[in-house]
């Protein structure tokens, strides 16, 4: 069976809110762009009162959508494009669904983290979407006492025609308490941007 790569929770050190947002949310702010990649962010209030950060990426890729899916679903590419990754494993549980594991190594003052995700590939006439959310398992942890990234939920959306593709990544997060934003935000944003650059380069090279 072909092994399938996780769709990683790129927004590191966060818990993810699944509650609906209030209407009239602010516009997205463009954080960074270049080389066909755009990184947007905004702060929103969910209906349960939680203050959350919404992040999205769009990426123009000079390769067919089959290349995009190949990189996102083939284990051998995982450590090549995922930034700050110590370990990466998957376990297929269906033809288009799988459990994925990733262990992150972050620079001081952030600690190492690991997460497990349930992933599902959904296809329709407009393209393909990989949905992911936290999975209640520790099958690859080997008894290690490492902080878990839980409550995760997001998606990759793959589209395009012929030799060009558009990849979108979207997630809503509730940053953890403890360290101030002026310390955490630059590390998070740097990791996100480096991962997306790695991903685009890997897709276009295969």
Q: Indicate the average pLDDT of the chain.
A: 83
- Whether this prediction's pTM lies above 0.85 is answered by no
Q: What pLDDT was estimated at residue 20?
A: 52
Average pLDDT score over residue span 161-181 = 82
Task: State residue 175's pLDDT score.
Answer: 66
Q: What is the CA radius of gyration of the chain?
A: 16
Report the pLDDT averaged over residues 155-184. 84
By C-alpha distance, which of 8, 39, 11, 28 is closest to 172?
11
Model confidence pLDDT, tens digit, residues 3-33 = 433 333 443 333 434 445 555 678 899 999 9
- What is the tens place of the pLDDT at every residue in 66-120? 999 998 888 888 888 989 888 888 889 999 999 888 898 887 777 888 989 999 9
Burial class (CB in 10 A: 0-12, 13-18, 19+), 77: buried
Q: How many CB atoms lie within 10 A of CB 159?
A: 15
pLDDT exceeding 70 applies to what percent of the chain? 86
């Amino acid at each position: 069976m072909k092994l399938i790569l996780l769709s990683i929770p790129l927004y590191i050190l966060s818990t993810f809110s699944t509650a609906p947002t209030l209407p009239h949310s602010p516009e997205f702010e463009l954080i960074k762009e270049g080389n066909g990649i755009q990184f947007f962010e905004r702060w929103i209030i969910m209906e349960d009162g939680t203050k959350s950060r919404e992040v999205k990426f769009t990426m123009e890729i000079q390769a067919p959508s089959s290349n995009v899916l190949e990189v996102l679903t083939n284990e051998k590419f995982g450590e090549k494009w995922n930034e700050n990754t110590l370990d990466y494993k998957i376990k297929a549980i269906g033809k288009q669904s799988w459990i994925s594991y990733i262990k992150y190594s972050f620079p001081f003052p952030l600690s190492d983290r690991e997460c497990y995700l349930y992933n599902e590939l959904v296809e329709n006439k407009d393209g393909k979407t990989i949905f992911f959310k936290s999975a209640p398992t520790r099958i690859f942890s080997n008894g290690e006492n490492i902080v878990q990234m839980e409550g995760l939920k997001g998606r990759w959306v793959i589209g395009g025609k012929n030799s060009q593709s558009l990849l979108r990544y979207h997630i809503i997060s509730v940053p953890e308490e403890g360290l101030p934003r002026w310390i955490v935000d630059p590390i998070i944003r740097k990791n996100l941007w480096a991962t997306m650059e790695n991903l685009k380069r890997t897709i276009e090279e295969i």
